[in-house]
Every structure is written in C-alpha cells, then in structure tokens.
Amino acid sequence: MRAAVIRRKQLREDNSVTSPSAHVRHLVKRAMTFLDTNREAAWRCLRDASTLLGAKTEEWVIDPPGHGICRPGGLATWQTRRVLNYVEANLGSKMTIEEMANVVALSKSHFSRAFKRGLGHSPMAYVAVQRVERAKLMMTSTRKRLTDIALACGFADQSHLNRYFRRVVGTSPGVWRRMSR
C-alpha cells in the first residue's frame, strides 16, 4: 500500500506523464510488467487506462457469477448470456456445439474459439462442469439414485457421471454424497 502511495507521488512529480496519452502508455507498460507476477494489479492498471480512454469497464464484466472477465476476442456479453441460458435450460438433454453456435448465429469454429477465449473452457468442457454442478445439487437436495441423477443431468449412464465427476471434483459421486450429508 505504501509503495503505491509513493508511486502516485512520483507520477505527479514526473512531467513526462502529464498528458492523458502518456499516462495511458505508462499504465499499459505497468500492466505488462505486472502480468506474470500480480494479475490483479495488472487488471487495475488496464481498467485505469481504459477509463482514461473513455471506455466503460462495466462492459467487460459478465453478469453470471463465477465466469470471470469477458476478454476481447471472446463472445459479446449478450451472446455469452444467451448461450449460458441455453446451456442451463438444456443440461438434461444432448447438446452439440452446432446447436449452441446457432443460438448466437455463429459458425461452429468461430463460436468454439470465441467461447474458449471468453470463458476459459471449451463449450463442451463447460457443459460437463455444469452437469456435474447440477448433479451435486441434486445429490444434496434429493434422495434419488445416482443412476437417475446421471440421466437427469444429461449423462449417458452412471459410469459416465462417475468419470466426469471424478475429473471435476476429484472423488466419486458416492463418496462425495456421503461426505456432504
């Protein structure tokens, strides 16, 4: 904290950073130095620079919690919302990348690339994680058999649920269910 106060004083005293464009340049350079060591500081610098440029930083944030920052080159915010709502509504049925791409009127390849860039996961990996999350919710809120939960969440059978559950959570669904009671 103290280092930040000292740095701000140095910036005010430094005559080379008086124009807005020089200040933006300085913030971007600082963000680049922080990128590997302190991502939070890098994002703060980039947000400050975008504010100076007149950009609205709220446009970068996606509404659904836990989905992080919408990166440039990813899906637009409205596209992300529409696809995530579609995935949530259709978790129990078979879903293809083509269907998800059609929801936002993009080609399969462009959609896959933009989805991964914006959310950090491929579309099908995201769907698998959401299915596991729904299965966890059903395991804690109902007394249904794992076979029924697997089918309700869009898995082909219980072994399919077991494989993905173990991949995402790190333990089997039966063990997780007993521990979460």
The answer to whether residue 14 scores a pLDDT higher than 90 is: no
CB 114 within 8 A of CB 106: yes
pTM: 0.61
Domain ranges of the chain: 2-60, 126-180
CA angle 168, 129, 63 (to 5 degrees): 130
CB 128 within 8 A of CB 150: no
**Tens digits of residue pLDDT in 95-129:** 999 999 999 999 999 999 999 999 889 999 999 99
Identify the bridge partners of residue 69 per DSSP, sorted by sequence position: 61
CA distance 26 to 49: 9
Both tokens of 5, joined, read: 């106060």
Can you give the pLDDT at residue 36?
A: 65
CATH 3.90.1170.50, applies to 126-180: no
Both tokens of 141, joined, read: 């809120």
The answer to whether residue 34 scores a pLDDT higher than 70 is: no
What are the DSSP calls for 102-145, one per residue? HHTT--HHHHHHHHHHHHSS-HHHHHHHHHHHHHHHHHHH----
